[in-house]
Chains A and B, each alone.
Chain A
Amino acid sequence: MISRREFLRLGLAASAGIGLSAFAARAYSGKGRTPRWVFLVDTYKCVGCGLCVRACKLENEIPYEVNATRTWVERYVVKKDGVVVADAPLGARDGFTRNDPQGIIVPDADIAKAFFVPKLCNQCTNPPCVQVCPVGATYQSPDGVVLVDRTWCIGCGYCIMACPYGMRFFHPLYKTAEKCNFCYHRLSAGMKPACVDACPFGARLIGDMKDENDPVANIIRTERVTVLKEEFGTKPNVYYLNYDSVIR
């Protein structure tokens, strides 16, 4: 017959042992570490094919024909007289196939420079959309991605108003706030976002800022990169290589 004192002593020892081994297993597998997702866009590499937009729409069930999208590509044409003509028709869902920004044909001879800029949610460290949500339906995950709870969003649109990047819209079917979340379901399964996988030119890259060996994070650390609309104090986590001051 085991005494009460002995029972407690063995019980404590057993639970401490189990706890310690669970912690060790977790630490060894690396699963306990929370990543800090960052995105890198190299505007030099983007050709405006729109494959990323199509992949995103398919992956995230945004109806193809709807004039709203979680990610898009902008085209900037800077003319020799300094005039900037920019557009993103249908978010570049069908790619840019004609030299007609805003429907105007610009002769090649008039163009000083032209380029494409992919846009997606900046997963801000200080997200204004999260700040203004009256019910807490939009929130920040521990790895920095801003998510929306479709079952709790009331559809007031305050987050849409608060985003300086115009990322958000109302999902045409669910009638709740919708935005890019770096394909969080894919990230959680160890995959990359759909747009990253779809880009044939490597213009879109995702990395983990907490990983010292992450090649994308290393580019951000060592190259000259910038973020969009820094003046709003949102601290974006999408970085741009080869930025230009005409980008909006």
Chain B
Amino acid sequence: MVHGEAWTIKEFFTYPNEYIYWSIQIVMYPLMTGLVAGAFVLSSLYHVFERKELKKMAKFSLTFSYALLLSAPLPLLFHLLHPLRGLNVFFTPHFTSAIAAFGVVFFSYAAIVASEIWFVNRRLFVESALRLRGAEGIGNKVKGFVYRMCSLGAYDLSDEAIRKDERAVRFLAGLGIPVACFLHGYAGFIFGSVKANALWMTPLMPVIFIMSAIVSGIALCMLTYIIVVELRRFRLNRGRKPWMSSPEARGTEMNAIKMTSKYLVFFMLFAVSLELLDLVFRGYTAVKHWDILRTVIYERDFFSIFVLQYGLGNLLPLVIFLLPGLTLKRAVAGLILVLLGVFMMRWNVVIGGQSFSLTLSGYMHYNIPVIPRDFETYKEGVFGALTIAASPFVFLWILNKLIPVIEE
């Protein structure tokens, strides 16, 4: 069986080799890079623009951004038919290809985020390394060793040194914003530059992707932050060991949530406006492929575009966040809907773009594999996507062992 045949249903006149080649993992890929970019921008709002109310959220989202960054290449590796050859992109990058830029952009960005995390946490590394020097027990010895390694031998904690750290953090946070936008903008470029695809090809694609990336990153950071903090409080109240991080319990700061949700709404309005502009423009100009695009957008994918993406994913959260008296539960509901909206946007772009034939006279339907029959249907199915979705939380859990993401 040829790749793609297992989950593609073809209708009317399609070319013989046409299948849904880019499936759920390519939906996950821009979703993950988007979350990386968004989480970083959120942390930079504090570091660069000095939004004091975002201080705690900033540290959390910076570490989370790194956890997400580690997950970002996984969907690509899951998607490749020759994952072991993935490194060829670094050996022989063919720079006329948007994907070839991935290695360069990814590692530059990873270096920036890792450096920023180091500067933000240097005091913690040094203090922990000193505290654990000569400590008893194998666990403490290993921890001490890891912290000593992380300190990179820079033990100077004088006021002057700390001030330099802060300056470096501000510089890196500022530098990281354009790089994060580039990382995700180029993911949009991967789609927007495919001239063969009538739905993808628009210069607005990178900008739409960046805006929705920031929305998704902020939403996931807020949601995870709320869950982490609330779970900690819940556990502490029962007299058990705190979950994820140290000292005393304190509830999620509603002020920070309200402030962050304002940024969320701002970026969401921007993203939705651009998407609608694109839609209106296509309808108004109505070039050759509009006939088939219209049937896809308004008929076949109506539910996933207008109900799930725009209705539940954009309009409803806007109402939730704009109505006065925001509560924590309402915020959580709104954030989940925002994430659903961004996921559906990615889905409608990636899968929607392949749901009509290059003949402009036929359709293809993506029948996502649920129960895996073999490794391929696992990778390109629901469980593959869930594996990818779970991975940043695993990385965050590991990172949290080293750098507590929530400090009092």
| A residues with CB within 8 A of B | 66-69, 72, 84-88, 90-91, 102, 119, 128, 130-137, 152-158, 160-170, 172, 175-176, 232-233, 248
> 17 A-B Cβ contacts within 8 A?
A86-B361, A87-B13, A88-B13, A88-B15, A88-B16, A102-B12, A131-B96, A132-B97, A132-B99, A135-B93, A136-B94, A156-B76, A166-B17, A166-B358, A169-B3, A170-B21, A233-B195
Query: How far, in angstroms, from A156 to B195 measured CA to CA in the complex?
Result: 18
Query: How far, in angstroms, from A176 to B3 measured CA to CA in the complex?
Result: 10
Pick the interface stretch among B47-55, B79-87, B136-144. Answer: B79-87
Residue in contact with B97 in the complex, picked from A131, A155, A165, CB distance below 8 Å? A131
Query: How far, in angstroms, from A12 to B45 measured CA to CA in the complex?
Result: 72
Closest to A63 in B: B2
Please determine whether A135 and B5 come into contact, CB atoms closer than 8 angstroms. Answer: no
Determine the chain B residues whose CB is within 8 A of the CB of A156 once the complex forms. Answer: 76, 79-81, 99
Please determine whether A132 and B96 come into contact, CB atoms closer than 8 angstroms. Answer: yes
| B residues with CB within 8 A of A | 1-5, 12-19, 21-22, 76, 79-82, 85-86, 88-89, 91-94, 96-100, 102, 190, 193-197, 357-361
Known: A132-B97, A134-B97, A152-B92. A166 touches B360 (CB 8 A): no
Residue in contact with B15 in the complex, picked from A131, A166, A170, CB distance below 8 Å? A166
Residue in contact with A248 in the complex, picked from B13, B94, B99, B190, CB distance below 8 Å? B13
Please determine whether B88 and A133 come into contact, CB atoms closer than 8 angstroms. Answer: no
By secondary structure, the B interface counts as loop
Q: Please give 17 more A-B residue pairs, beta carbons under 8 A apart, in addition to A135-B94, A164-B195.
A: A67-B2, A67-B16, A68-B17, A133-B94, A134-B94, A136-B92, A157-B21, A158-B97, A160-B21, A162-B196, A164-B196, A166-B14, A168-B17, A170-B2, A170-B3, A172-B1, A172-B3
Residue in contact with B194 in the complex, picked from A84, A161, A233, CB distance below 8 Å? A161
Please determine whether A154 and B82 come into contact, CB atoms closer than 8 angstroms. Answer: yes
Please determine whether B194 and A162 come into contact, CB atoms closer than 8 angstroms. Answer: yes
Residue in contact with B13 in the complex, picked from A102, A131, A155, CB distance below 8 Å? A102
Closest to A53 in B: B16
In the assembled complex, how far is the CB of residue B282 from the closest CB belonging to chain A, in whole angstroms?
A: 16
Q: Count chain A CB atoms within 10 A of each CB in B13, B99, B195, B357 and give the residue with the most.
A: B13
Residue in contact with B82 in the complex, picked from A131, A153, A164, CB distance below 8 Å? A153
In the assembled complex, how far is the CB of residue B399 from the closest CB belonging to chain A, in whole angstroms?
A: 29
By secondary structure, the A interface counts as loop
Closest to B91 in A: A135
Residue in contact with A152 in the complex, picked from B4, B16, B88, CB distance below 8 Å? B88
Please determine whether B81 and A176 come into contact, CB atoms closer than 8 angstroms. Answer: yes
Determine the chain B residues whose CB is within 8 A of the CB of A69 once the complex forms. Answer: 16-17
Please determine whether B93 and A169 come into contact, CB atoms closer than 8 angstroms. Answer: no
Please determine whether A169 and B86 come into contact, CB atoms closer than 8 angstroms. Answer: no
Determine the chain B residues whose CB is within 8 A of the CB of A135 once the complex forms. Answer: 85, 88-89, 91-94, 100
Determine the chain B residues whose CB is within 8 A of the CB of A154 once the complex forms. Answer: 80-82, 85-86, 88-89
Known: A131-B97, A135-B93, A248-B360. A175 touches B81 (CB 8 A): yes
In the assembled complex, how far is the CB of residue B379 from the closest CB belonging to chain A, in whole angstroms?
A: 12
Determine the chain B residues whose CB is within 8 A of the CB of A160 once the complex forms. Answer: 17, 21
Determine the chain A residues whose CB is within 8 A of the CB of B86 once the complex forms. Answer: 154
Determine the chain B residues whose CB is within 8 A of the CB of A168 once the complex forms. Answer: 17
Please determine whether A167 and B81 come into contact, CB atoms closer than 8 angstroms. Answer: no
Query: How far, in angstroms, from A172 to B190 measured CA to CA in the complex?
Result: 25
Closest to B79 in A: A156
Query: How far, in angstroms, from A121 to B79 measured CA to CA in the complex?
Result: 25
Please determine whether A158 and B4 come into contact, CB atoms closer than 8 angstroms. Answer: no
Determine the chain B residues whose CB is within 8 A of the CB of A248 once the complex forms. Answer: 13, 358-361
In the assembled complex, how far is the CB of residue B188 from the closest CB belonging to chain A, in whole angstroms?
A: 15
Determine the chain A residues whose CB is within 8 A of the CB of B19 once the complex forms. Answer: 169
